[in-house]
Every structure is written in C-alpha cells, then in structure tokens.
Amino acid sequence: MNLSGCYTAIVTPFENGEIHWDTLRRLVNLQIDGGVSGVLPVGTTGESPTLTMSEHKKVIETVIEEVNGRCHVMAGSGGNSTNEAIELTKFAKDAGADSSLQVTPYYNKPTQEGLYRHFSTTADIGLPIILYNIPGRCVVPIDIDTVVRLAEHPNVIVVKEAGGSVDRVSQILNACDITVMSGDDAL
C-alpha cells in the first residue's frame, strides 16, 4: 500500500454536546473536493478519547459511507486499552476502512515490550496499521528499536511521526523499510 499525498485529520463536529452528523459529512466532502489523498476520522484531532465506543464506531462508519471509495480512509482506532483498540480496529476493517491509525497508549506509560505487544496484536487483525508516535501527548515515545521490530510485521506499514525531530525520522528510515508520515508541522 502506497500512502502519499495529503491526509487530513478531520474534527468531530459537535452541536450542544452531540455529534453533528451533517457537518461531519460536509467536512468529508470539503476535503475530498480539495483533493486530499485520504481522511482520518477519530484521530487526536477528532477527539477520539472523548467519544463513547458507539460514537467512535458511528463516526468511522459515517465517514466510510460518505467517502464511498473516493479517497483513502485511515480510521483512528487505537487507544489505551488493547482490547478496545482490537474492537475498534476489527470494526473499522469490517466497515471498509483502508487502514488504521494506532495511537501510542497513554497515561499508564507502557514499556517498549508492552508497546510492541499492543501494536503487534492489533496488527494481527489484518488491517494495515499506522503507528502514531506523539510523545508530547502520550508521554511514551515508540523507541526506534521498537519501530524496527514492528516494521517486520506485514500489516505495520507506516509510522506517523509527531515528535518534531528530523534526526529521528532519518534514523528510522535508515534502520528499516517503513514509510514515515509527518504528524508535526515542523517536519
């Protein structure tokens, strides 16, 4: 799978505390009309940690239906809990997502082995996954050695780097055969 071009992390729009579904659909169409290669629903920008499981699933499903094959859908289906990440990733796969963004579990500060097991178990579902390294929000970075180990899994296809270090990106590219996407404006 070749992921190139612009992928927009779309917001989850709310009105009076409820998701505004018509606005979500309009946002998807604005991105597609603007020529993006793909959209990312329920990533960090889409407020994934604040949604219920049913809201999370419905956002993924609504975006996939609205896209209707016109661009790549990278569903945000990661999370703190491996079981929840598995449930959301299975749902995204069954709903027709093209790939899944897997955020680094946060708050509990997992070890690198814990991160490896979390991501590899999620990758076993069969949907191509993008590792999301965002240490400024998740506190725990995915070490380069862990990225290298995970890159050996056939379903781990990309690492989205939001750590702000060009040197780190260069080290990853030199250490293994994985695509790196920028998740930081400075990169």
Q: Which of 100, 185, 115 is nearest to 148 (CA)?
A: 115
CA angle at residue 165 from 154 to 38, to 5 degrees? 50
Please identify every residue annotated as catalytic: 132, 160
- The structure tokens 């929840």 sit at 84
